[in-house]
Structure 1
């Protein structure tokens, strides 16, 4: 930390992930030899990251300072806040503190990764207090689209650093307690050194609607859908939405069936922790579903984002083993498409409509509300906390910039507001703030079981394959004489159709033969040299003829006989 020019009397604040982006939320508060980490999230890959499953932060700084890390505290159980926990714990066996629901989800993840036995896990409540030698941590209840959400206050010798987590001010939540405005105001009265606040909806004016508003809309849909089944798709983590759908089903005499692995897990956790209350006898299995009249059933499933393998997508394209669309079915998308998912969602909607379903989606039907506060709620948080310094988090740059402007409107001086990037370090005392250096905090790609095995070269090759195709060049060369004993043969995949491209491929074989001969006739049988010449010569020829750059892979068999 000294390399970052942080003085002994300063508290350092930084984002390992979550700044300038939506996702990867991982923040650190450090005083001398103690670090408190807040959240460890993932980001879902954009379309250009072909084959990448998740994106996590680069943990190298944390690994180098692992002996200083006293706790990982979790604000709530969404993937962009807990998805990175198993990957972090593979390097740093730090104690994890989380609410009951988030902890249940974390345990499932650690079990899958084989890390559960050695993990140090502690369940917290909003009134929990964590005490360390130089810092302590308290919590305050917030509301979001998942139960058990808390904000975090890290109390340092310089003052309190408050991280809000994801929040909105929902005063009429469905399944959990309202936000603790009194505790937030108390933190503000006692003095907040720096506020780190969720910026997701900073571009949207007004207030985010309560979950109870959606509850009324769901009831109206059930009132009107009198003839067929209702298929209800939402986020598995949105237990409030699931509860509202179940309550509407029970009041209309409908039995409830659950489909999708994550939805089943959410049901189990929600019931176990008391957030989901479904009367005995209301839940039925897939087998029982077929014995019940269509207008007496509700199917709750995953797939509201058009995910190809989710239950709703398989129902829509006819590949689900147990459910197919019937006339008079009503399908409800109780979510808004995440940016990047709109095309997938529209594809599923079109397939459902073609099969005869009545599909209800979009803002006009009032069946979704955000879990993130809008501008007026962000201003309210600022007024309650009254921070001396402000650092917006959880948002792209334009969102952070707007949030800073709102902070200034709420009385935070311009020079006390800091828009940071991942790896930037903000050093604070009771009266001062400054940028105190930077550490590497880029992206690490998760591909299957591999962590960081996929680099930019691999992604470039994948992009090339997806757009331009592949050409294999296979040849057998006598390593003593240098003569070509077999081939070269060209095999095309995704580049040209071989049966219709005989002349092109034949000329390509001649190019490759000449490239090999140009070296071997002079006694050069080095495979690296031969492959390089093949690629250069064939690539030039194919581009001249097709204006395309396929990925060219030479495979040389060197015969010693």
Structure 2
């Protein structure tokens, strides 16, 4: 009997950042390698990727990374992963093409070429398991699910999926293949939960195209379409509707141009008219009623770019009266505040705004009935909801129980939980410590909770700096304290506060100089504590306080004076 472990390193109790470990004896199969975009409390953070700690400790066991599709939540962390682990990467043609785009932007990975293109007919035999794949329907072509077949049964990971009977070629689910996998025996199903809370059926893609086409047909001004860059299906629908209504399409952003070029080259996108695409620099050469501007934003996230358009800070397009902003992506619940703010800014700019989700229940993820159909086709012994916040995982678990799957056969996991198959039972055996790795500029994982806390305080209460010069030998203050503040109070109208703060610093420093047991660390801490108490008493705020102590050293053999700065970095 195989010794099997299932360990989520991301993607549970959160949106995106999918990464799951399936361990069979001494082989580790990594399923997806995604990132997520930060929420508001992660100030200054660009992206968040999974914690690779467990994989570092077991690097010699990793046999490969298996990707379900080409969205950032499945492939975004790949450059960071491959910079540490030299292992093969498996995915469909479109997924590998997008993965290569992601990886080649990292100079360290310029020579990495261990990519392997697979399809739904591929089976890969390893020592302790066989990995195979099945077609699924999602908003990007060649999306797949993954099967890790062991002697004890299969571990099935759905990836992002839904069922749509009208899906075009390249997006269709292979129902017969799913039934075949189910007949062979499924030990555990790791199932997409991103839309599990929605009890309504999602509309099929033919209805979504009709909605896009109607807006293009009856609108007379410019149409600015907001879309995720890697949503190839939506981009194709926009191209088709634009061509049908005599409009040209201009693309904004490097990401979208590169992805569209790649998809066209692979035949996953097609242009319904040869002259459909125009340069964004030529949009003023066309009447407004003939234009569609496709905005995908930085890293495929369009909302911030729409805000820049509304405030005339976008480097290529500014919104004006008569424009329609058409949001064709369905943001997660975590983005609701951002969406509302963006809508308000668009209206203030004089433009109109619509979203597909206003009128249609659209999603690229499985509804309640879709989830239950997947379970009925696969007949899993155990269900492990993945891909979603806790309430979504819980909803998926509820739908599983409706089908008669026992509650103790359903596991709502946290990151790092280890599900272990032992003695014919899957059990929550133990856990490993798994956190988040924060990406800030070129820094990977060097931003921790203390730095984030300081950034939060700085954003709320500002910084208060006290600079004072002393002569320690003579035990006196040479230059009176200078007080500087940024983001705390308006200095010109707070003269009394600044003067009293300077007096307090002078008094505290002099007390420390008079102390026989003089200590630099104690001096700085004493100044910080006294100021913190005083400022809070007067303003009810807690700014970041930085005491900077300058020391003058008198040397007997030289007439030069040298200042030594002692600040928080010392």
Structure 1 residue 31 corresponds to structure 2 residue 24: yes
CA drift of 1:164 comes to 0.4
CA drift of 1:305 comes to 6.1
Could you tell me the TM-score, scaled by structure 2's length?
0.92
Cα distance in 1 for residues equivalent to 2:411 and 2:308:
46
Cα distance in 1 for residues equivalent to 2:440 and 2:308:
24
CA drift of 1:29 comes to 0.9
Q: CA RMSD in A?
A: 1.9
Maintained 8 Å contact 1:107/1:116: no
Change (3 A) 1:341 1:92: same
Task: Choose which of 11, 25, 42 in structure 1 pairs with 2:4.
Answer: 11
Cα distance in 2 for residues equivalent to 1:350 and 1:417:
42
Could you tell me the TM-score, scaled by structure 1's length?
0.94
Deviations 1:283-335 (A, max 9, x none): 11123332222222221112596643x2x333222233443334433321112
Cα distance in 1 for residues equivalent to 2:35 and 2:541:
36
Task: Choose which of 502, 512, 523 in structure 2 pairs with 1:509.
Answer: 502
Maintained 8 Å contact 2:462/2:544: yes
Cα distance in 2 for residues equivalent to 1:48 and 1:229:
35
1:376-525 map, 5 Å: 376-429=369-422, 431-525=424-518
CA drift of 1:119 comes to 4.5
CA drift of 1:352 comes to 3.1
CA drift of 1:189 comes to 0.6
CA drift of 1:66 comes to 0.5
Structure 1 residue 72 corresponds to structure 2 residue 100: no
Change (3 A) 1:341 1:9: closer
Change (3 A) 1:160 1:362: closer
2:339 matched residue in structure 1 = 345
1:55 matched residue in structure 2 = 48
Task: Choose which of 99, 112, 118 in structure 1 pairs with 2:105.
Answer: 112
Cα distance in 1 for residues equivalent to 2:301 and 2:32:
24
Maintained 8 Å contact 1:61/1:439: yes
1:327-366 map, 5 Å: 327-361=321-355, 363-366=357-360
Unmatched segments (≥5 aa) in structure 1: 1-7
Number of residue pairs the alignment of both structures matches: 550
Cα distance in 2 for residues equivalent to 1:349 and 1:301:
15
2:294 matched residue in structure 1 = 300
Maintained 8 Å contact 1:306/1:344: no
Cα distance in 2 for residues equivalent to 1:128 and 1:202:
30
Which consecutive segments of 4 or more residues in structure 1 shift more than 4 A? 303-306
Structure 1 residue 146 corresponds to structure 2 residue 140: yes
2:183 matched residue in structure 1 = 189
1:230 matched residue in structure 2 = 223
Which moves more between the two structures, 162-171 or 479-488?
A: 479-488
Structure 1 residue 205 corresponds to structure 2 residue 199: yes
1:3 matched residue in structure 2 = none
Which moves more between the two structures, 140-149 or 295-304?
A: 295-304
CA drift of 1:533 comes to 0.2
2:127 matched residue in structure 1 = 133
Task: Choose which of 272, 278, 282 in structure 2 pairs with 1:284.
Answer: 278
Maintained 8 Å contact 1:306/1:348: no
Structure 1 residue 545 corresponds to structure 2 residue 547: no
Maintained 8 Å contact 2:140/2:171: no
1:314 matched residue in structure 2 = 308
2:564 matched residue in structure 1 = none
Which moves more between the two structures, 524-533 or 58-67?
A: 524-533
- Please state whether the residue corresponding to 1:193 is helix, strand or coil: strand
